Chains A and B, each alone.
Chain A
Amino acid sequence: MDDAQLVAGAIAGRQECFETLVERHQRPVHALVYRWLGDRAVADEVVQATFVQAYTHLVDFRGDAPFRSWLYGIALNQARTLQRDRRRERTIPIDDVAEGDLPQVEGASEGGRLRDRLAGCIARLPPRQRTVITLRVVGDLPFKEIAKLEGISENSAKVSYHHAVTRLRKWMGRG
């Protein structure tokens, strides 16, 4: 069954259809939220809230975009809300952070350390750039879908993406 059929089944009251949707999309949604937030535990919380909200608003899914895109939109809104609620501490611009103070993970492999460090840098990007690069690279959405989700032009999404990559390379010492 495709996503649209499962959505119809869930709307009709068959919760097993929704469970199949959860099983199908929980990993990509989790990856997206984790990359956006840079915190695995919080990402888990956001994923759960995302699917609960998706269930209660299932009738709002119109099917004119992939179900995955729709879920991503909900997930990012949940992540933004949660982050806004939690982030009360003072933030320091990444450019002012010493190289050694950037996120490091003890005992992880070289690749893992690099990814975690990158995740920490992404979390410091301006919101628009962070969202666009996450949706493009992790969510694997085309720029057209990203533009629709964010309410911006496709060109603006591409420009944000380019700026994000340039900035990340600089922070990672690759630029």
Chain B
Amino acid sequence: MNASERAGIESHVAACDRCRAALAALRDVPAILRVQDDTALDEAFWRAQRQAIMGAIRDLPAPAAAVPMPSRPFVRRPAWMTWAPALVAATAVLALVTLRPDGIWRAVPSVPVAGIDGLDDPTLLSLSDLAGVSSPREETAIEVAQDEAALPELSDDELDALAQLVGVHGR
């Protein structure tokens, strides 16, 4: 409270019996309580109390110094960092559900293998282009071995002739 407020209150209290009594009440009880009566306790009492306290802590370990935590400067993160991880996670989940082979939302409908076998090369290439497949499925070692086993025993001349027919040179 500033000086003018205080002066205003004091002038009011001087004129108002009720407020004067209330103020006296507020000062009265604390004034009694504030009176120190420790004089009844002599120095021997305080010394004995001190000795009792020090005796109790004498065998205690020293209060361990707090281990200082490495302080990390506070860095305010940009707002997008709060929602971006959630967005990335949601996208990943959606992609997994959409693109898994037996998923319900397959991007490319499966074509029966027997049907593929019946298609000629230009048709297969066209389908591959449509499906966005850039390279034909790689043959496994077993499939290659089976195909080779199916080839009849040909002479070198016959093989050269076949190579020329399919456009492969210098086998």
Q: Which residues of A contact B (CB under 8 A)?
A: 10-13, 15, 18-19, 22-23, 26-27, 30-31, 35, 44, 47-48, 51-52, 55-59, 111-112, 114-115, 118, 122, 133, 136-138, 162, 165-166, 168-169, 172, 174-175
CA–CA, A56 to B23, complex, Å?
43
Interface residue ranges of B87-139 to A (CB < 8 Å) = none
Q: Which interface class (under 10, 10 to 19, 20 to 34, 35 or more) fits B?
A: 20 to 34
Residues of chain B within 8 A (CB-CB) of A162 are: 26
Residues of chain A within 8 A (CB-CB) of B57 are: 15, 18, 51-52, 55-56
Q: Is the interface of A mostly helix, strand, loop or mixed?
A: helix
Query: Are A15's CB and B58's CB within 8 A?
Result: yes
Shortest Cβ distance from B86 into chain A, in angstroms?
Answer: 37
Q: Is the interface of B mostly helix, strand, loop or mixed?
A: helix
Q: Which residues of B contact A (CB under 8 A)?
A: 25-26, 28-30, 32-38, 41, 46, 49-50, 52-54, 56-58, 60, 62-66
CA–CA, A91 to B30, complex, Å?
25
Interchain residue pairs with CB less than 8 A apart (7): A18-B57, A23-B46, A48-B52, A52-B57, A118-B29, A138-B33, A169-B25
Residues of chain B within 8 A (CB-CB) of A31 are: 36, 38
Q: A134's closest neighbor in chain B, by CB?
A: B33
